[in-house]
């Protein structure tokens, strides 16, 4: 019953393999039994009670784990137990065996000796096979094909020994067979010894199991090997066969202790689970048959004429109710006997949901080292990230499970999880879920690391952009300053420099005229004084432009109002400003328009000869319109000399850079009107 219940928990894709393996094992057991009985009859051997007890104990030692915990390792242990039981089932005395000197051995050797030899060859091969798989380690490659070759090679060596003719060839084959089987047994014991001495905390429980198995097998094998040793040396055999049989019980005892104390084959948790499900299954069958009988009786009494249909209806109703009832009872049993299992499922599901949303390394470490062990009721947990050493300290408690955090070919670290406070070990299903969680944690850590690198790269890019922007602004300021210097230099050349040069020439002429015509010299000095005052006024105007700061708030109307007042106070040119109370524009746009207005008013002051001017600024939905107009002497474009229109060209360049338009109207004697239109961004224009 226990085997069927546990087998029902096996995936459907693997269940047929389990049944095939058990069918083959049953055939082998029946064949061994028949062969042992026939060889005992032919050689007049007596099967004693002690031999039956020893053989049965060995057989059950491998058979019970395979029934309770079906799997490759447990089934392999069952085969090893079968071969060992067949070896000790028939008591005999080695001294009574006299191999024939002539002829072929298989024709003259007793049947029980041949059978025992083949069982010994298969037992040695199975021992090597089983220990080569113990314990399963992800960092150690295992080749099933290579190990499977041991079985046919062992059978071939034994067969070759039995069919070899008498002489040196038989001795050589016998020596080869002895060396082969001795090598297999030594390799099996060496594998257990290597595991028992493994200092890795991840395999601490496996090391304890290996020490027990090695001790038990050595105790069981020592008397048997001593008898063979004494036999080949020709010494009297001082070890009776009953002592050999008694020592065979050491193997079952050590295996049982390893199962109960160190959870060999994970039998402890499996037995309790199987017993619980056995009770549930029995109760469910009782409820099922009781419900079926009750429904059938009620239906038969209600409608006697339809008794058959009522019985069929009762069976179908009970069948429909069977599955939900079984699931409900199964959940209830899990809640009674294994509350840690239910909590485990919930904790793992919650942790996987949270890992799918984690974006930084610290959160992953907090989740795995603090929150997950608390939810699992585990004693401790530790996540060690590369390049640190991936094992806990020497004084750390024993871990119950661990896994490497791997993404692709990169090892990010190792996760260690302590045992539950209740002592219930993590079964195979739980370890598989923990492994899946570790793989997801590796992806989360890799994502967090990538995100951190991207954030660092983004910060570097932001710093680089800020630096480049600052450099560009500095270059732009330097360019603006250079343009202003060039403009002022042109203005000084066009106005102040020429005026001063004219004053210099006039002063030189007046010096010669002063002695000849004092009155004309006095009139010339008056003209030179007026010219010097004009040059001084132009110089002050240029210096005032240099001292005027750029706009920071973008209020063009307020800046124009201050500039017009300053021109009136310095030069006497009255500028009538027509502008709204406030006109907020983007700072760069307001500054450029202010430069254009200053240039236009400076041209009025320098060239028009008028004492009044008008400045209008209007904002509409599309942009800003600026007009500077005077009623002075005006000009014609063709009459302008080289360099005389540089101020106008500067205004054109500024307006073109803003995406606007400039139109200049002028006639001699009429004056000059400069019309400027520039677009404004819609959002900023609306806010203004």
CATH of the domain at 670: 3.30.565.10
Q: Is the pLDDT of residue 491 over 70?
A: no
Q: Are residues 35 and 162 in the same domain?
A: yes
Domain final position from 317, 337, 357: 337
Greater confidence (553 vs 564) lies with: 564
Q: Are residues 305 and 350 in the same domain?
A: no
Q: Are residues 329 and 357 in the same domain?
A: no
Q: Are strands 612-619 and 671-679 parallel, antiparallel or unpaired?
A: unpaired
> By C-alpha distance, which of 411, 380, 408, 407 is closest to 393?
380
Give the pLDDT score at 229.
75
The average confidence (pLDDT) of the chain is 77
> By C-alpha distance, which of 43, 68, 165 is closest to 107?
165
Q: Given pLDDT bands bounded at 50, 70 and 90, which one contains residue 445?
A: confident
Q: Are residues 439 and 347 in the same domain?
A: yes
- Residue 478 inside a domain? The answer is no
Q: What is the pLDDT of residues 176-204, one digit of tens each?
A: 888 888 888 898 888 888 888 887 766 77
Greater confidence (406 vs 641) lies with: 406
Cβ 359 vs Cβ 448: under 8 Å: yes
Q: How far apart are alpha carbons 144 and 129 in whole angstroms?
A: 9
> By C-alpha distance, which of 446, 391, 437 is closest to 416?
391
- Number of domains composing the chain: 4
Q: Given pLDDT bands bounded at 50, 70 and 90, which one contains residue 630?
A: very high
The residues with which 612 forms a beta bridge, in sequence order, are 574
> By C-alpha distance, which of 94, 130, 127, 132 is closest to 113?
94
Cβ 629 vs Cβ 613: under 8 Å: yes
Give the pLDDT score at 629.
93
Q: Is the pLDDT of residue 164 over 80?
A: no
Domain around 576? 551-688
Give the pLDDT score at 644.
52
Greater confidence (500 vs 462) lies with: 462
Q: Is the pLDDT of residue 645 over 60?
A: yes
Task: Give Cβ neighbours of residue 23 (< 8 Å, ≥ 6 apart).
Answer: none
Cβ 402 vs Cβ 396: under 8 Å: no
Give the pLDDT score at 684.
42
DSSP string covering 245-314, please? HHHHTHHHHHHHHHHHHH-GGGHHHHHHHHHHHHHHHHHHHHHHHHHHHHHHHHHHHH-GGGHHHHHHHH
Q: How far apart are alpha carbons 490 and 495 in whole angstroms?
A: 8
Q: Are residues 325 and 196 in the same domain?
A: no
- Residue 505 inside a domain? The answer is no
DSSP string covering 217-238, please? HHHHHHHHHHHHHHHHHT----
574 Rama class: left (phi>0) / alpha (psi -120 to 50) / beta: beta
Q: How far apart are alpha carbons 153 and 161 in whole angstroms?
A: 12
- Residue 87 inside a domain? The answer is yes
Cβ 600 vs Cβ 674: under 8 Å: yes
**Which of 226-230, 256-260, 499-503, 564-568 has the least mean pLDDT?**
499-503
Give the pLDDT score at 663.
92
Residue 6 in tokens: 């546990």
Domain final position from 452, 485, 504: 452
Residue 120 in tokens: 């010994």
Q: How far apart are alpha carbons 557 and 617 in whole angstroms?
A: 8
> By C-alpha distance, which of 296, 347, 345, 289 is closest to 321?
289
Q: Can you tell me which residue has the tokens 């999880």?
A: 417
Q: Are residues 443 and 574 in the same domain?
A: no
The residues with which 675 forms a beta bridge, in sequence order, are 627, 663
Give the pLDDT score at 618.
94
Q: How far apart are alpha carbons 664 and 674 in whole angstroms?
A: 5
Q: Is the pLDDT of residue 474 over 80?
A: no
Q: Is the pLDDT of residue 231 over 80?
A: no
Q: How far apart are alpha carbons 303 and 313 in whole angstroms?
A: 12
- Residue 361 inside a domain? The answer is yes
Domain final position from 322, 337, 352: 337
* Residue 114, domain CATH: 1.20.1070
Q: Are residues 326 and 365 in the same domain?
A: no
Share of residues in the chain with pLDDT > 90 (%) = 6
- Residue 189 inside a domain? The answer is yes
Q: Given pLDDT bands bounded at 50, 70 and 90, which one contains residue 687?
A: very low
Q: Given pLDDT bands bounded at 50, 70 and 90, which one contains residue 321?
A: low
Residue 316 in tokens: 């179908």
Q: What is the pLDDT of residues 528-546, one digit of tens each?
A: 776 677 667 667 666 665 5
Task: Give Cβ neighbours of residue 365 (< 8 Å, ≥ 6 apart).
Answer: 383, 385
> By C-alpha distance, which of 119, 116, 139, 38 is closest to 79?
119
Q: Is the pLDDT of residue 118 over 50?
A: yes
Chain-centroid distance of CA 230 in Å reads 63
> By C-alpha distance, which of 624, 562, 642, 576 is closest to 604?
576
Q: Are residues 603 and 678 in the same domain?
A: yes
Q: What is the mean pLDDT of residues 497-525?
A: 70
The residues with which 666 forms a beta bridge, in sequence order, are 672
Q: Given pLDDT bands bounded at 50, 70 and 90, which one contains residue 146?
A: confident
Helices 267-302 and 250-262 cross at an angle (nearest 10°) of 80
Chain-centroid distance of CA 186 in Å reads 44
Residue 37 in tokens: 């009985």
C-alpha distances (whole Å) from 652 to each of 324, 559, 647, 655, 679 are: 89, 21, 9, 5, 15
Q: Is the pLDDT of residue 6 over 50?
A: no
According to the per-residue pLDDT averaged within each range, which of 292-296, 626-630, 649-653 is highest? 626-630
The residues with which 625 forms a beta bridge, in sequence order, are 618, 677
Q: What is the mean pLDDT of residues 541-565?
A: 71
Share of residues in the chain with pLDDT > 70 (%) = 69
Q: Are residues 600 and 688 in the same domain?
A: yes
Kind plus residue range of the DSSP H or E element containing 624: strand 623-630
- Residue 67 inside a domain? The answer is yes
Give the pLDDT score at 683.
44
Kind plus residue range of the DSSP H or E element containing 666: strand 661-667
Q: Are residues 333 and 447 in the same domain?
A: no
Give the pLDDT score at 36.
84
Q: How far apart are alpha carbons 483 and 465 in whole angstroms?
A: 26
Q: Are residues 190 and 204 in the same domain?
A: yes
Kind plus residue range of the DSSP H or E element containing 595: helix 587-603
**Which of 18-27, 260-269, 352-361 has the least mean pLDDT?**
260-269
Q: Are residues 228 and 98 in the same domain?
A: yes
Q: How far apart are alpha carbons 527 and 631 in whole angstroms?
A: 25
Q: What is the mean pLDDT of residues 670-680?
A: 92
Q: Which residues of 259-297 are buried (b: 16+ CB within 10 A; e: fewer)?
A: beebbbbbbbbbbebbebbeebbeebeebbeebbeebbe
- Residue 542 inside a domain? The answer is no
Helices 49-68 and 250-262 cross at an angle (nearest 10°) of 30
- Residue 515 inside a domain? The answer is no
According to the per-residue pLDDT averaged within each range, which of 147-161, 441-455, 616-630 is highest? 616-630
Q: Is the pLDDT of residue 362 over 50?
A: yes
Q: Is the pLDDT of residue 21 over 80?
A: no
Give the pLDDT score at 65.
82
Q: How far apart are the first and last CA of the chain?
A: 88
According to the per-residue pLDDT averaged within each range, which of 200-209, 291-300, 439-448, 552-561 is highest? 439-448
Q: What is the pLDDT of residues 566-625, one digit of tens each?
A: 888 877 889 999 999 988 888 888 888 888 898 888 888 878 888 899 999 999 888 999
Q: Can you tell me which residue has the tokens 């070890």?
A: 239
């Amino acid at each position: 019953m226990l085997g069927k219940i546990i087998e029902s928990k096996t995936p459907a894709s693997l269940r047929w393999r389990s049944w095939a393996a058990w069918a083959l094992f049953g055939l082998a057991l029946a064949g061994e039994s028949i062969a042992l009985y026939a060889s005992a009859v032919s050689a007049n051997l007596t099967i004693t009670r002690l031999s039956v007890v020893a053989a049965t104990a060995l057989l059950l030692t491998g058979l019970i784990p395979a029934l309770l915990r079906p799997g490759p390792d447990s089934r392999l242990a069952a085969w090893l137990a079968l071969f060992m039981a067949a070896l000790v089932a028939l008591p005999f005395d080695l001294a009574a065996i006299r191999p024939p000197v002539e002829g072929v051995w298989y024709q003259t050797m007793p049947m029980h000796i041949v059978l025992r030899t083949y069982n010994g060859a298969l037992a040695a091969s199975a021992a090597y096979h089983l220990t080569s798989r113990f314990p399963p380690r992800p960092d150690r490659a295992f080749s099933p094909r290579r190990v499977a070759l041991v079985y046919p090679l062992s059978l071939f060596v034994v067969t070759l020994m039995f069919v070899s003719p008498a002489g040196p060839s038989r001795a050589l084959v016998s020596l080869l067979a002895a060396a082969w089987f001795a090598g297999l047994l030594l390799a099996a014991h060496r594998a257990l010894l290597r595991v028992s001495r493994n200092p890795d905390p991840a395999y601490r429980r496996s090391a304890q199991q290996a020490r027990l198995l090695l001790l038990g097998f050595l105790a069981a094998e020592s008397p048997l090997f001593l008898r063979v040793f004494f036999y080949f040396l020709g010494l009297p055999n001082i070890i009776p066969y009953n002592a050999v049989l008694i020592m065979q019980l050491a193997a079952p005892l050590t295996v049982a202790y390893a199962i109960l104390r160190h959870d060999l084959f994970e039998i402890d948790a499996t037995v309790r689970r199987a017993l619980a499900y056995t009770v549930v299954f029995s109760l469910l069958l009782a409820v099922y048959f009781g419900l079926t009988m009750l429904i059938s009786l009620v239906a038969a009494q209600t409608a006697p004429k339809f008794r058959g249909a009522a019985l069929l209806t009762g069976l179908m109703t009970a069948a429909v109710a069977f599955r939900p009832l079984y699931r409900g009872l199964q959940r209830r049993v899990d809640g009674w006997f294994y509350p840690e299992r239910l909590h485990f499922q919930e904790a793992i599901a919650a942790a996987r949901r949270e890992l799918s949303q984690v974006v930084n390394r610290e959160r992953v470490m907090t989740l795995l080292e603090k929150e997950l062990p608390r939810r699992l009721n585990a004693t401790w947990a530790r996540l060690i990230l590369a390049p640190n050493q991936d094992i806990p300290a020497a004084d750390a408690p024993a871990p119950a499970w661990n896994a490497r955090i791997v993404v692709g070919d990169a090892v990010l670290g190792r996760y260690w999880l302590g045992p539950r406070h209740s002592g219930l070990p993590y079964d195979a299903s739980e370890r598989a879920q923990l492994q899946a969680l570790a793989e997801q944690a590796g992806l989360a850590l890799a994502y967090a690391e990538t995100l951190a690198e991207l954030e660092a790269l983004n910060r570097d890019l932001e710093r680089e952009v800020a630096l480049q922007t600052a450099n560009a602004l500095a270059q732009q300021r330097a360019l603006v300053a250079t343009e202003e210097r060039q403009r002022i230099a042109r203005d000084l050349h066009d106005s102040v420099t020429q005026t001063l040069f004219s004053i210099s020439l006039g002063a030189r002429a007046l010096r010669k005229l002063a002695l000849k015509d004092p009155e004309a010299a006095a009139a010339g000095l008056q003209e030179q004084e007026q010219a010097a005052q004009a040059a001084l006024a132009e110089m002050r105007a240029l210096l005032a432009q240099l001292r005027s700061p750029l706009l920071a708030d973008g209020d063009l109307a307020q800046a124009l109002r201050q500039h017009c007042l300053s021109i009136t106070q310095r030069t006497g040119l009255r500028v009538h400003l027509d502008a709204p109370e406030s006109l907020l524009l983007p700072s760069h746009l307001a500054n450029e328009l202010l430069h254009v207005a200053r240039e236009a008013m400076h041209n009025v002051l320098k060239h028009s000869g008028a004492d009044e001017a008008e400045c209008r600024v209007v904002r509409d939905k599309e942009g800003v319109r600026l007009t500077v107009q005077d009623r002075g002497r005006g000009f014609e474009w063709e009459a302008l000399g080289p360099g005389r229109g540089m101020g106008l060209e500067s205004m054109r360049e500024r307006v073109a850079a803003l995406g606007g338009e400039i139109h200049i109207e002028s006639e001699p004697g009429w004056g000059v009107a400069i019309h400027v239109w520039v677009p404004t961004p819609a959002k900023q224009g609306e806010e203004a």
